């Protein structure tokens, strides 16, 4: 959407990004209302929900390819000159992306720890039945999380498009594997576990290129994932659960 409004419609890039984030949030709301909420009410388990989400992502990916083609297109402002800080080279967009990421992480942490909705979100994630019995509107909390998740996914898509750089139909495929590894590593259902897992996986993947070919850097993330699951199946910050 940033590409459509910023390039095709010629709007200022900051306005195109805001529109894209708003539309991403609207998509999150629509997906929850049309797909996830009915499936939750039918009692569909987590694994089938994940399979549905993977199928939906494939459908959306190829729908994008059908309308926009398979080539890589650049967002406005991509390809700026690099600034050199000793052996490190960063563009102004890279610096802005890091600043935005830090602000967003702090804002989400404050939301989860300090706000009433954030505390309700953590309660629903921990035990939806108990949260409902305590008077929390579980469906409303999940809807808010989907809206926020959609907005954050839209923002992260913009930042990823500038980092790559470029927008293409398969730009999220490699990241999807790393995100899954990071979430599983940190512990499913724990927001701060996902953060810690993401930092570990991200650092390992990038630093592994000092010893491994760049084409094999994603293998290291999977090796970490396998080792952690063998030693601590619940993840770094996950809790042990008794089944049966």
Instruction: Name the strand (E) or helix (H) holding 140.
Output: helix 138-163
Please check whether residue 244 lies inside any domain of the structure: no
Phi, psi of 140 (to 5 degrees): -65, -40
Whether residue 125 is predicted with pLDDT greater than 50 in this model: the reply is yes
Q: Taking residues 221-242, report their average pLDDT.
A: 73
Q: Are residues 106 and 219 in the same domain?
A: no
- pLDDT tens-digit readout, 41-68: 888 887 788 889 888 988 999 999 999 8
Q: Are residues 164 and 179 in the same domain?
A: no
Residue 85: DSSP 8-state:
E
Distance CA 33, CA 151 (A): 16
Distance CA 101, CA 69 (A): 30
Domain termination site, one of 140, 168, 196: 168
Please check whether residue 44 lies inside any domain of the structure: yes
On average, the pLDDT of the chain sits at 86
pTM: 0.84
- pLDDT tens-digit readout, 186-204: 877 777 888 888 888 888 8
- pLDDT tens-digit readout, 128-173: 889 989 899 999 999 999 999 999 999 999 999 988 888 998 888 8
């Amino acid at each position: 959407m940033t590409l459509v409004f910023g390039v095709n419609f010629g709007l200022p890039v900051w306005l195109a990004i805001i529109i894209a984030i708003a539309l991403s949030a609207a998509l999150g709301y629509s997906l929850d209302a049309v797909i996830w909420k009915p499936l939750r009410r039918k009692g569909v388990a987590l694994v089938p929900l994940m399979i549905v989400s993977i199928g939906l992502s494939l459908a959306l990916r190829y729908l994008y390819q059908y309308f926009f083609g398979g080539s890589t297109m650049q967002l406005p402002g991509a390809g700026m000159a690099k600034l050199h800080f000793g052996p490190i080279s960063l563009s102004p967009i890279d610096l802005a992306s890091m600043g935005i990421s830090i602000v967003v992480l702090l804002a989400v942490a404050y939301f989860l720890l300090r706000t009433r909705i954030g505390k309700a979100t953590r309660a629903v994630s921990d035990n939806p039945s108990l949260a409902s019995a305590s008077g929390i509107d579980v469906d409303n909390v999940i809807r808010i999380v989907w809206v926020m998740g959609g907005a954050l996914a839209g923002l992260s898509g913009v930042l990823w498009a500038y980092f790559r750089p470029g927008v293409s139909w398969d730009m999220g495929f490699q990241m999807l594997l790393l995100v899954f590894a990071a979430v599983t590593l940190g512990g499913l259902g724990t927001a701060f576990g996902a953060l810690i897992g993401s930092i570990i996986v991200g650092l390992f993947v990038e630093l592994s290129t000092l010893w491994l070919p760049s084409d094999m850097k994603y293998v290291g993330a999977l090796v970490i994932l396998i080792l952690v699951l063998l030693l601590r199946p619940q993840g770094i910050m996950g809790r042990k659960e008794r089944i049966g």
